[in-house]
Chains A and B, each alone.
Chain A
Amino acid sequence: MRFLWRIAGVAYEQLVVFRRQWMWIAQSLVMVVCFTILASAWGGLEALRHMTVALLLASGWGVGLNSAAQWIGYDRIMGEYERRVASPLTPAEYILGSVLGSFIPLFVSELPLVLLVAAMAGISLSGLLLVVLLSVVATFLGLFLSLSVILRIKNPMNISAVTNPLYTVTTLLPPVFYSPLVLPEPLRSLCAAIPTAALVDMGKALTGHLHAYPLWVSALSVAAWLSATLVLMLKKLEWGHE
């Protein structure tokens, strides 16, 4: 039980701060509304279906890449990380708590709204459940990638100056909110190697919608990214002299 309280303790601190800085949560909700309007206006229900999957996965990705990673980065600057090393808290509990602390306010709060949009778009509940689970994978993948980068910055004065552009580059540039099918070859195939593009295409395959790559190709790409970024992160995530 004690390990659960330790994880909850890490998450609790973030949840309190997010409650006070509620504009972050408001921003997430407004994003869902805006993307729903945009997709419906330009492409009707078909676009809305694609957008819902993309939005869920991009949100999960953003929680890990931007929010949770930033929190850990600031913990290192402010001494909280150092303090926690000298305690029974393990690195796994710390990371899990940090992810939960961001995931609950930023992802779970927008979930009812996304589910409503998904129902309007005609996405099945089982398919949606799979996408939500895939969003958790996206969160961890985003976190691992972000930490692989920011833990290598010698003097991280402004971590968001790194994570925000990283989020934009990985979600708006590659085929995340648009289909890889509109891209010419070999660009279309090459995009399968981009983690966010692979995640969203996987999500579309799981919900039975039009997708660009065979499921195993996207899954392989995601698995490769997860393993590589996990190794890169662990090389720099020093928990004292452990």
Chain B
Amino acid sequence: MVARGLGKKFGSVWGLREATFELEKKSVSVLAGPNGAGKTTTTRILATYFKPDKGEAYVCGFDVVREYREVRRIIAYMPQEYRVSLDLTPEELVVSSLMKRGVSYSDAKREARRWLEALGMWELRGRRLWLLSGGERRRALVASVLAEPAEVYFLDEPITGIDVEGRYEVLRVLREVAAQGATVFMTTHNLSEAQVAADTVVFISAGVTVAAGNPQKLLESFPWRYKAFVNSRGELPGDVPHMRLGDRLVVYARAREELYELLRELEVDVHGVHEVNLEDVYLQMVKRWQP
């Protein structure tokens, strides 16, 4: 999947200004960024819902504008805040989704079982969606999309509103889908899960891609390795890399020993020491925040 200088204008405002990335086939890719950064617009362009005003994009080698029919044949898409009638059951939802792609009723019933089992929803297959929790509904929706026979799956915030076990259940299935040869492209705000599940992470901010790459490589590009959560109302010396959250501070250092030494010097209450994660990289790159 390739995007080069992708841009989309809404009236006189550029909602997406310059999205550029290349993603591998048979992988899980995550597009992350703050609200209004252009994640959904990028996804909509790749899913042939929007026509870009500049740039070009290819899905499995097909131009999303000129060859949109070919693209639509090989993709499945779950839009942001996607909902369905709550009078349906998870099984009916998956069956109707498959039939809408041209799968016969009997084949759809068989596939529905496979995907509902994969997402831990088989026991709830006959219960109407309005009787399920928000997370269970979301898993049923994800099952209905992943059940569709496609080469590329676009999922716009698929794990929003799902509990921790549910999120990991969805991520496990997404990894399996990629392992079986499909490509998964999802947007999320949840970077800890992106770090676990993604082969590639693309950061987008104010309509421009600011970084793209393997999560581990992105972490290595971050100048600090460790962080500590501390409590201090006083000001820290200017040369100490930190981020203030009220009376709580996040203090960064290159090495664990360096961090412990720094904390001893600062005489602050320490609430935990951790390795940095993708959220720290994200904050630096997307929010232009410099510790």
The chain A residues found within 8 Å of chain B, CB to CB, are: 1-3, 5-6, 8-10, 12-13, 16-17, 20-21, 78-80, 82-89, 97, 240-242
Contacts and interface: CB of A to CB of B under 8 A. Distances in A.
Given A16-B87, A79-B81, A86 B101 contact: no
Interface in B73-101: 73, 75-85, 87-88, 92, 95-101
A50 to B, nearest CB: 37
B83 A89 contact: no
A198 B67 CA distance: 43
Interface of A, secondary structure class, is helix
A241 B102 contact: no
A240 B154 CA distance: 15
Nearest to A14: B85
Interface of B, secondary structure class, is loop
A79 B102 contact: no
Contact of B79 (A16, A79, A89, A97): A79
B49 A240 contact: yes
A78 B85 CA distance: 9
A132 B15 CA distance: 50
A241 B50 contact: yes
B65 interface: yes
B93 to A, nearest CB: 8
Given A12-B96, A13-B88, A240-B68, A6 B101 contact: yes
Interface of B: 44, 47-51, 65, 68, 72-73, 75-85, 87-88, 92, 95-105, 128, 145, 148, 154
Contacts of A12: 92, 95-96, 99, 105
B49 A85 contact: yes
Contacts, number: 106
Given A87-B100, A88-B73, A241 B81 contact: no
A88 B100 CA distance: 8
A105 to B, nearest CB: 13
A20 B87 CA distance: 7
Q: Which of B44, B100, B145 has the most CB of A within 10 A?
A: B100
B75 A87 contact: yes
B87 A86 contact: no
Contact of B48 (A1, A6, A9, A241): A241
Contact of B101 (A17, A80, A88, A97): A88
Nearest to A19: B87
Contacts of A78: 82-84
Given A13-B85, A86-B77, A241 B101 contact: no
Contacts of B82: 78-80, 82-83
19 contacts: A5-B99, A5-B102, A5-B105, A6-B102, A8-B99, A8-B105, A9-B98, A9-B100, A10-B100, A12-B92, A16-B96, A78-B84, A80-B82, A82-B77, A83-B78, A87-B101, A240-B50, A241-B49, A241-B65
Nearest to B97: A9
Q: Which of A6, A8, A240 has the most CB of B within 10 A?
A: A240
B88 A3 contact: no
A91 to B, nearest CB: 12
B79 to A, nearest CB: 4
